[in-house]
Structure 1
């Protein structure tokens, strides 16, 4: 592991944990609305810490880490959800902030090194199933291109969603057949069929959204009512910009990714497609992050997630990524008021954000479930599908079920461990996995 990578991820962990401790920024969207209650004395430190642990820890263990194990890139949830917990659990005051920074840095470095250690341990197992885990991400790349059609169907109805799916499918087929272009110099390059299908869907998604008429007042009212909280965020703009720069730098070094889709694309070296996927995700997060920021006075350490796009586009250039990421984060914060008013003028675009997030989550749930099934079947041919279906359905009956997105990766990892135990006991025939 390069020392620069460890310094960057350690600094990110430290700064994110310190900001969570001071109530400046938290990564978990579900925790952000709780922060003002703590800052205003409505709830105490114990209640905040308990809430933070409840909403974040399961996602770290059940989603962030398992998804990261299937690739060479860490899902940022593994770091920033944990720094939320660290920041809220450490004491108040300067001493607590310093402690949060130290633990946050150790966690960032530890998870980066630790995941590699886990990968190395898998390689020592009699049945190495790590290669098979790569199949978890296989359906994500092509499946992601479906989300605009689903978002349109949620917002504008089945017919427009079906039309979008049809045109996206047509684009996918045509680019797969005719997408290889040969230049006069003899150089050839191939367009991404999935990327073009996604682009067609996104263009239609925006087209339908801007056609929605109506005048809203919600966000304008929010700006006037919560002007103090917006001012609070702007006072911390420099600190938040540093965090945005670190996120972009870490992404540029291919240490972290903002979502499973761009993570899998980055691990395959498809940085152009990964940037497009991250950009689409950023569009969906503008209304959520901006609205919660205006209401709570608490921002996200990764902003509206466009810093990930910067990092991907400047892959291999961490210094430039840091500078550009910091600038993008600063601009985001300065545009809080104006963006809220802009969203108010286009109610369809404002509503589109919610549908984008919902459709992305649904696509990821299905894609990761199918990927988990493919990986499980590679690990244990003839048993994998049975295992995955059983785990998924039983999880629905649990008192504290895993989030649906985590079931596929967790089931595949669990099956790999079971197969190794059976092999050691002489109950499993030696097979070549992957």
Structure 2
């Protein structure tokens, strides 16, 4: 396998990483959700640039080299971890605004030209570990389909989770038998998400009814208390204490609301910047050489764009609440917006329409941030569901990537490969995870591949054929 990028992909990859680095330098947007909460202090000057750079690098390095690069190598499709996590770091690192897009553009050029050269070099090695890493695709594609069942179990208990899992399995088997042209994981995910929505709506109705009953009980209790006699001194003291508490809570709420309003206003002020980012990203996604997720990288590589759109739409359901709340709290947006540009641009017929759609989507998203934040504040079940979706996605991907890494190790070096990669994974665990768990498997495959090649050159290891 080799990576070859068209001129359109090369140009818009470089432009996208350049502009993303500029947004990062201005503390307007980053890709890493873990970095975003620190940007308000960075913007205010409470965190210095070297400190902020160290935070961004520490939270991103494992995902760049352990997830983004291996997924790009094994699928042949670019992803946001390999493009935008480094642009986060380079933008924050840049002391001058003009320097950030230059560094971002350089990184984009390194990716599009370097990945191609690296795959060409890997194909000439005695142990082609990059080809072996294509074995990661099936575990990621099929296990990822069951994340809704895991999310349901997290939020609504083991029995409902088991029902969702069995239903998903039946849907997958039925799809494989009667609709073989469709990726079976797509309908499996759809059935799980529908079930999750049903359970969430039922829970929201139940909670609303309980809230109404509790409010009625409190009103009755207050009326009863008002009818009871109390001494003037005790009544006065209680009234003063209550007033002080109410004033304190009101002041805190007003201060928080003021910060949130200022952050939302700042993002709206720079809406044209986000529109430009949306245009660039829309075109890049529409080339089908860039995908928004781990699973969709492999689905796009297979040319199944409708299935990829479905998968990334479900993923967005879990991340939009997080993006909204962190954006309002920090004054920094997600560099890929609500991620809705992925499913839209996959399906649009040409890059021009995709660019227009991306610009419109990003512009609208910036202006509705505060409204969505207020709406989320009233729907506890929705917030919980989105948190559980995110956690379920991470959990299923950790398992899938580990299984895929073991499969790649087996394809690369048989039982010895499994022993080395599995051993490195276990060692990473006991050492306190210097490499994040999700990236530990792919990093182990790469390290093992390098080691086996060195051993092959000194005739201590005989390569096996990688299918």
User: Quick check: TM above 0.5?
Assistant: yes
Summarize the alignment of residues 18-417 of structure 1 with structure 2, pairs less than 5 Å apart: 18-91=22-95, 96-180=96-180, 190-213=181-204, 214=207, 225-314=259-348, 317-399=350-432, 401-417=434-450
In the alignment, structure 1 segments of 5+ residues that lack a partner are: 181-189
Aligned partner of residue 411 in structure 2, secondary structure = helix
Aligned mates of 2:18, 2:199 — CA distance in 1: 42
Aligned partner of residue 211 in structure 1, secondary structure = helix
1:212, 1:347 within 8 Å by CA — same for their partners in 2? no
Aligned mates of 1:223, 1:357 — CA distance in 2: 27
Aligned mates of 2:62, 2:141 — CA distance in 1: 25
Distance 1:157 1:310, change over 3 A: same
1:229, 1:295 within 8 Å by CA — same for their partners in 2? yes
Deviation of 1:399 after TM superposition, in Å, equals: 4.9
2:409, 2:417 within 8 Å by CA — same for their partners in 1? yes
1:379, 1:415 within 8 Å by CA — same for their partners in 2? no
Deviation of 1:57 after TM superposition, in Å, equals: 2.3
TM-score by length of structure 1 reads 0.92
How many matched pairs? 418
TM-score by length of structure 2 reads 0.86
1:251, 1:311 within 8 Å by CA — same for their partners in 2? yes
Between structures 1 and 2, the one with greater helix share: 2
Aligned mates of 1:131, 1:314 — CA distance in 2: 31
Moved over 4 A (4+): 220-225
Tell me the alpha carbon deviations over residues 302-353 of structure 1, each in whole angstroms, 9 at most, x when there is no partner. Answer: 01211111222236x2221111111111121121122123223332112111
Aligned mates of 2:392, 2:433 — CA distance in 1: 24
Aligned mates of 1:420, 1:174 — CA distance in 2: 43
Distance 1:162 1:430, change over 3 A: closer
Match of residue 13 from structure 1: 17
Deviation of 1:59 after TM superposition, in Å, equals: 2.1
| Residue range with higher mean Cα deviation, 135-144 or 331-340 | 331-340
Deviation of 1:400 after TM superposition, in Å, equals: 5.1
Deviation of 1:108 after TM superposition, in Å, equals: 1.0
Distance 1:356 1:223, change over 3 A: farther
Deviation of 1:386 after TM superposition, in Å, equals: 1.7
Aligned mates of 1:193, 1:31 — CA distance in 2: 35
Distance 1:126 1:191, change over 3 A: closer
Aligned partner of residue 73 in structure 1, secondary structure = coil
1:223, 1:337 within 8 Å by CA — same for their partners in 2? no
Distance 1:351 1:223, change over 3 A: farther
Aligned mates of 1:297, 1:59 — CA distance in 2: 24
Aligned partner of residue 335 in structure 1, secondary structure = helix
Aligned-residue RMSD, C-alpha: 1.9
In the alignment, structure 2 segments of 5+ residues that lack a partner are: 212-252
